Structure 1
Amino acid sequence: MDAGVTLLGVRHHGPGSARAVAAALAQLRPDTVLIEGPPEADRITALAGEKEMVPPVALLAHAADDPARAAFWPFAEFSPEWVALRYAVERDLPVRFIDLPAGHTLAPDGTPDEAAAGAPDGCPDDATRAPSGEDAAAADPIAALARAAGHDDPERWWEDVIEHRTPGADALTPFEAVAEAMTALRETGPVGRRDELREAYMRQQIRAARRAGHRTVAVVCGAWHVPALRDMPTVAHDRALLAELPRKVRTEITWVPWTHRRLSQHTGYGAGIDSPGWYRHLFGTERDTVARWITRIAELLRAEDHPVSSAHVIESVRLAETLAVMRGRPLAGLTETLDAVRSVMCDGSDVPLALVHDRLVVGDALGEVPDGAPAVPLQRDLTRLQRSLRLKAEAADRELALDLRKELDADRSRLLHRLRLLGIDWGTPSRSTVNSTGTFRETWRLRWEPEFAVRIAEAAQWGTTVESAATGKVIGDAAAAAELSDLTALAERALLAGLPGALPAVMRLLADRAALDTDVAHLAAALPALVRALRYGDVRGTDSAALAGVARGLAERICVGLPPACTGLDADGATAMRAHLDAVHAAVGLLTADDGRPAGEGPTVEGPAGSAGGPEGSIAERWAAALRSLAAREPGGGPATGAPGLLRGRAVRLLLDDGRLETEEAGRRMGLVLSPAGSPADAAGWIEGFLAGGGALLLHDAALLGLLDDWLAGVPADTFTDLLPVLRRTFSALEAGVRRTVGERVATGPLTAPAAVSEETPGYDLARADAALPTLALLLGIPAPAPERPRIPHQASHRDT
């Protein structure tokens, strides 16, 4: 090795290595610094010196024509490479990255690269381990060195030898020892082909620095590479190796924020640091390291209402230091401090200790990059929107409650929905903690992830702003949609996101697809999303007239085709259709909330003869007629000629709940189904469909409960065994209180209807009860009864109950 070149072998993201590098650079005073990393980043190294650049950050490189092929090189405050980079930038020294160019590693036909696969070189274990690859040594270098030193825990040994040590009088001595150890390890096994290529390129860059006239060159690289860079082969040898590299692809590179949580992950775009928060504390604390760390833990526990006093802190520090002495460690490490905290502050419980691990050992630190960092136009527009809407990207989870009646909150909602369309799930909808069912409220769970930078680069192909990109993405997804329900879901999401430019194209495709699709199940799956879109469109003040026309057309076709589509279904088909039945019923209720019915006109009621009133031709009436037709499709000539009992029972229950069927009529139909002439299996399915909406009506109508009880008591024993799974499923779905009360009533003996309530009934003042009816009707959202209504028995009307 040239005497003017000093190799500083490090472990990536190691606080001890970072302190050692800082001391070595101060001693060497180099005139140039070379760092392991992608050379494409040379043009943006100056950004590392700006005050707006706050680690953890990462270099992001991606193929210009395929942003999905991307790689990250993360840097933390305690990363040796970051320390070297800041040292050079602050002193205006030439600084270069000397690893293989990202253009080679991201090439489609390139050598498989951990960075391109989502685990960039820069992981802490990559610096001191045998390289991966087909011909790589399988041994772990750290484990080999620890075993040689008589230790069974490689990580603890490395911390004791490197991370917990402070630089001595000669800052270069530790690097010489590490180089000697790595030389011995590399002699025990083969080196991976990828590492050979990387090291050949590094040697070329070192030679180039010397040719440029630099007298003192400091090279900061993974310790594993030091032996290969110290003993240089000929230039011809390295050129022959590099001739194997694939053709470079055009790449783009920038700085992006990173998080401690991502550093702690061993897969994906992580770096494999188990305790980045602890490492940051080690690097930034010069004295009283353990005492200050345990004090931070105490502050956290106090903030979470755990009783922790100063005495707990003192005792924890003493216990941690005692454990370190007993275990032969130079300094109490993370293991000793957590053991002490668990024993003293957490009373032996791991529950509060898990909070300490999540908040402090790992942490939620999120880096920042200056505005001058290169970015695609989409990223710049998103940054502008984040500022104007006062939505700061944060690594920690936080809840955001929005009131869509406010302009700012509506704009925030549109942004989050647009990002979700682009695959950037910064916000995910969650259940509101506010007791409100209004559609003007939304609750989001926000959490920013570093890999969103890659998704933003991918989404840039659709547009230069968030709105235009989301619009382009929706149109593209609509053209590729395979099912009608996919199109209706896109229409709903486009309305939620406030994308008027996307709706015409989606509506054209939706109308064309709906006109050709004759499958009632497909139509039924598509309708609910359209109706929800209409509902949300009203809240947001968007024009959804086109959606209304398509939704009504779908509803009308479902009304016509539903009864025949329910004929001859097997058990699985009936179960799937029942879900569609419920969804369409709810959708029709929303769709017909303003269908022209005069104010105050209540729902019509079907009498025993099956008559119906209401506005002729309305969707609500057509849907009711479809349900009545379905309820009447009994399997007279066999199961294949009629609708399954599950669907017929469900249709009766929906009509009953809507007030279009009297309780007596529902009881009559139940009696026919449960008669000895009927099939027990069909009767069990009918009961399952009828009770699926809740069994409280059995408590209010003794006649229905009596019919059901008599039928169950009369089912033959062998048939009852076959029906038991269906019956268990039916009654287990009822509320616990309903099941208990039904059981108590059945246990009391024969079920009889309660006496009718009349003017002469003792204890009842019907005049006072009538006075409360208008208010009750207003609360329930139903028309108020006429002032002189006929007195009806309590059990005769399901609506009155």
Structure 2
Amino acid sequence: MSATEAPGGVTFLGVRHHSPACARLVAATVARLRPAYVLVEGPADLNGRMDELLGDHELPIAVFTAHRDGTRRHASWSPFCAYSPELVALTAGREAGAQLRFIDLPAWHPALSDRANRYADADQRYAEAVRRLCATLAVDNVDALWDHLFEIGPDDGLAERLDTYFDVLRGESAAGADDTAREAYMARWVRAARHRAGGRPVLVVTGGFHRPALVRLTAGPDGTGPDGAGPEEDDWPEVPAPGSDAVAGSYLVPYSFRRLDAFVGYQSGMPSPAYYQRVWEDGPRRAAEALTEAVVARLRTRRQPVSTADLIAARSMAGGLARLRGHAHPGRVDVLDGLVSALVTDALDQPLPWATRGTLAPGAHPVVVEMVAALSGDRVGRLHPDTPLPPLVHDVDAELERHRIDGREAVELDLTDTDDLARSRLLHRLRLLDVPGHTRESGPRVGADALLTERWSPAPSGDRLARVIEAGGYGPTLQDAVTARIEERVTLLGADVDGLATTLFDTALAGLPEHSTRTLTAIARATGAVTDLRALGRALAVALALWRHDRLLGSAGTAPLGALIIAAVRRALWLVEGVRATAAPADPGRLTALVAVRDAVRHAGPALGLDPADALAVAGRVAADAGVPPDLRGAALGLAWSLGDVPDAARAVRVVAAPDTLGDWLGGLFALAREEVVSGDAALLTVVDELLASMGAHDFLVALPALRQAFGWFPPRERAAVARHVQALHGGDAPPGDLLRLDADPLLVAAARAAEERVDAVLTREGLWEGDGT
């Protein structure tokens, strides 16, 4: 077995990250060479912490690096599992007595600033070469190509096949400036190691994309580059340091197979970590058998019927596909295709996930989803107890203990109590840092009546320690970290008033008054130019909630909030008059915005000087304008009605009685004046009943979806009042509750809901549905 060697005994192994075949090759090469130095692509700033990295951890783990300065924040992960060639190189190298070095730039360096994962493959750089290889070998994508060429086949000649493969790919691709800088830096380490080794072997393990460049850069005399340049001294390259105004640090974090899986977004390109773990431990033949067993066991656990005949059929199909594809025994795709052919009898409306690249798409067949989950596995890493942790971990633990919050128990809070309010703010700060542990079930929410209680339920997570460590990149204490997180969010949101509004409410819940003020200033600055009525309505609802409910959030009646409310109401009324479309469907977002306008005029108008006459004038013009969408015309009439100007709604509804406009108009009216509709003159409901009774079957089916959406604005109590009125019109005497109760088999209802969810997923995937009724 051999690999590319430069003069003086430097051996280069180009690998694919998280490849069992490459890991086996690395281990065998270390055993054969017993090198003086093992150089690995990885963060050079971690070289003084090899003992920490190679401690007695339960894999997978990752090196997490965070960097923050005045211009950017960067977070990066360098994950390792048992079959990561880089970690195998370090472990085997230490056992062989070699000196170990990481040779790449630190993760926070600008050359890596566009990477959240150091070991993300460079597939996009050589996509054309991969496409041609896949077409020639009749495989779907680079994962199937890799298995076909390397994972399933014999280890004999593996190094030469890898060299040829990466030479072909790199030969057709030009490295960018970032890769060039990294490769020049790594080459300096190679030359220095060669100089220090004094003729003893040096092994260099890097991603295959970099190997050809490193061979070229160290191919000159005495290991220098082609032009003869290179360090002649005995010094290692200097490790770059962060800027004087930067905060940077690296820590080990527990990782999980789920986070390693390409099907859930990991960038390494190697999917199905549980499967490849079995390949590493038992070889590809036994891994294929275990894969079938794992999928069947998972499906049976979830009460999916899988018979012995199905299992035999799946294995027979996998074996046949393997022979057809030239494999000595079934590989991952062979087994998966065999299982699908035996277990999935429905038509599939999207490609199988292993036939494409990227994440698992919404709407995938349930059996396929379980198959992918079985391949992913549920293993979660664990750090050795002596592993150094960032200060934030200790600060969070101390705060939770000080506030008597146990991660195994639900937390019931009375927000009028000082101690409970402090506990609530602690939990909200952890939520803002994406630290799992508790999930809020109830409490103050935008647009709802003020609640004085809050409930959090325990939500244990295997990723909790990792998430706290990662949050430590924002600061050493909980206060510092959440402050930096909010500052970052406000900066990134820019003029996004909807996102800023959410942030404003979050800062209030977390007890961060200074950041509430900064966020409020950003919203106020953006309000004058915003053109999205829905986003403006969200901001107005948040500002109004904060202005009204001071006991919880300490912000009631403040002048900045009042100024924002005034500006948002005026801007929203101006935007409403500019909406033009005669047949647009109802838009719940803009209706909710008008609800916020109504509430602002009702509850804050007298104190802030908002004149209801201004809103009534706009409502009158919009309600009478045939060029305005029906839902806004109905909402305008409802706005006037809710502000005391009682209209002739029964006459107005006859104007929009067409099947394709009636439901949308009613949706707007009910959104703004549902209480008035129920408690006031019942003439409107009588007319609606007459219009529906006069419709033919076709017209009724046309009107039905929008009508369902319209009556969805009524809560159960008010629906019962509507039911009583309709029943009185038709001489019925059944209890109103019976009219609202669906007389159907619950299993049938559940099946219908599942079918609707699948339809929604397909529509969303095809860009025909936005999940909000549009």
CA distance in 1, matches of 2:374, 2:510: 37
- Which position in structure 2 is the counterpart of 1:218? 203
What is the percent sequence identity of the aligned residues? 25
Q: Which amino acid aligns with 2:109?
A: L
Residue 456 in structure 1 maps to residue 474 in structure 2:
no
Equivalent in 47, 51, 71 of residue 46 of structure 1: 51
What is the CA–CA distance in structure 1 between the aligned matches of 2:145 and 2:466, rounded to whole Å?
33
For residue 232 of structure 1, what is the aligned residue in structure 2? 219
Q: Which residue of 2 aligns with 1:164?
A: 152
When residues 167 and 486 of structure 1 are mapped into structure 2, their CA distance, relative to the original with a 3 A threshold, is: closer
User: Cα offset for 1:142?
Assistant: 9.1
Q: Is the 8 A contact 1:47 1:53 kept in 2?
A: no
Checking the alignment, whether the CA contact within 8 Å between 1:15 and 1:78 is kept in structure 2 is yes
Residue in 1 that maps onto 2:428: 417
| Change in CA separation of 1:268 and 1:67 when aligned onto 2, cut-off 3 Å | farther
CA contact (8 A) 1:258 1:367 kept: yes
Q: Cα distance 1:308–1:708, how it changes in 2: closer, same or farther (>3 A)?
A: closer
Asked whether the 8 Å contact 1:8–1:223 carries over to 2, the reply is: yes
TM-score, normalized by length of structure 2? 0.62
**Counterpart of 2:195 in structure 1: which amino acid?**
R
User: Cα deviation per residue 1:237-283 (whole Å; 9 max; x = unaligned)?
Assistant: 4687779x999552644434444444444998611113333212211
Specify the SS of the correspondent of 2:206.
Answer: strand
Aligned to 1:342: 340
Deviation at 1:79, TM superposition (A): 1.2
Contact 2:23 2:88 in 1 (8 A): yes
**Aligned-pair distance for 1:333?**
0.7
**Residues 495, 537 of structure 1: 8 Å contact kept:** no
* Cα pair 1:701 1:753 within 8 Å, conserved: no
Closer/same/farther in 2, CA of residues 415 and 366 from structure 1, 3 Å limit? farther
- The aligned residue for residue 278 of structure 1 is 275
Aligned pairs, number:
647
Contact 1:402-1:413 within 8 A present in 2 as well: no
Bigger Rg over Cα: 1
2: CA distance between counterparts of 1:564 and 1:137? Answer: 48
Corresponding residue to 1:102 among 106, 117, 137: 106
Counterpart residue number, 2:477: 465
In structure 1, the residue corresponding to 2:556 is in which secondary structure?
A: helix
The one of 703, 710, 729 equivalent to 1:734 is: 710
The structural deviation recorded for 1:8 is 3.4
What corresponds to 1:497 in structure 2? 510
Could you tell me which of 16, 24, 36 is aligned with 1:11? 16
Look up the SS of the partner of 1:270 in the other structure.
coil
Question: By how many angstroms is 1:630 displaced?
Answer: 3.7
Distance 2:706 2:161 in 1: 73
Measured in 2, the distance between the counterparts of 1:60 and 1:697 equals: 58
Would you say 1:55 and 2:60 are equivalent positions? Answer: yes
Assess, with a 3 A threshold, how the Cα gap between structure 1 residues 347 and 384 changes in structure 2: closer, same or farther: farther
**Structure 1 residue 301: deviation in Å?**
0.9
Q: Deviations for 1:373-430, whole angstroms, at most 9, x for unmatched residues?
A: 66654465357668985669xxxxxxx98644599998886455325656x4869989
| Structure 1 gaps, min length 5 | 108-112, 393-399, 593-616, 677-682, 714-726, 739-750, 757-762, 765-801
> For the residues of structure 2 that align with 1:186 and 1:633, how far apart are their CA atoms?
65
Structure 2 CA distance for aligned equivalents of residues 329 and 536 of structure 1: 68
The separation in 2 between residues aligned to 1:564 and 1:176, in whole angstroms, is 68
> Which residue of structure 1 lines up, in the alignment, with residue 193 of structure 2?
209
SS in 1 for 2:79: strand
- For 1:339, the aligned partner's letter is D
Counterpart Cα distance in 2 of 1:567 and 1:198 = 52
* Separation of aligned partners in 1, 2:730 and 2:252: 79
The AA in structure 1 aligned to 2:18 is H
C-alpha distance in 1 between matches for 2:620 and 2:176: 74
TM-score (norm 1): 0.61
1:98 is paired with a residue whose SS is strand
> In 1, distance between residues paired with 2:430 and 2:730?
61
Could you report, residue by residue, the CA deviation over 1:607-651 in whole angstroms, capped at 9, with x for unpaired residues? xxxxxxxxxx9989x99x94899499978xx99xxxx97577324
Q: Note closer, same or farther for the CA distance 1:705–1:54 as it changes in structure 2 (3 Å cut).
A: closer
> In the TM superposition, what whole-angstrom CA distance separates every residue of 1:124-152 from its partner, at most 9, and x where no partner exists?
x54xx7x94xxx896349929x95x8989
> For residue 286 of structure 2, what is the aligned residue in structure 1?
288
SS in 2 for 1:34: strand
> Is contact 2:435-2:468 (8 Å) kept?
no
Name the counterpart of 2:31.
26
CA RMSD in angstroms comes to 6.4
Task: Tell me the distance in 2 between the aligned counterparts of 1:754 and 1:491.
Answer: 48
1:459 touches 1:469 (CA, 8 Å); kept in 2?
A: yes
Q: Distance in 1 between matches of 2:89 and 2:73?
A: 30
Secondary structure at 2:268's aligned position in 1? coil
Q: Do the aligned residues in 2 keep the contact of 1:259 with 1:364 (CA within 8 Å)?
A: yes
Looking at structure 1, the residues matched to 173 and 573 of structure 2 have their Cα atoms a distance apart, in angstroms, of: 68
User: How far is the alpha carbon of 1:550 from its aligned partner?
Assistant: 5.7
CA contact (8 A) 1:200 1:241 kept: no
Alignment of 1:740-779 (within 5 A): none
Matches within 5 A, 1:189-338: 192=175, 201-213=185-197, 215-223=200-208, 226=211, 229=215, 232-234=219-221, 237=225, 248=240, 250=242, 252-265=249-262, 270-286=267-283, 288-309=286-307, 312-313=310-311, 316-338=314-336
1:143 corresponds to: 133
Is 1:528–2:541 an aligned residue pair?
Answer: yes
Q: CA deviation at 1:51?
A: 2.1
For structure 2, list consecutive stretches of 5 or more residues without a partner in the other structure. Answer: 1-5, 232-236, 243-247, 349-364, 443-447, 626-631, 656-661, 694-702, 715-725, 735-774
Contact 1:63/1:252 (CA < 8 Å) preserved in 2? no
For 1:164, the aligned partner's letter is: I
d(CA) in 1 for partners of 2:730 and 2:95? Answer: 93
**Distance between the aligned counterparts of 2:323 and 2:384, measured in 1?**
45
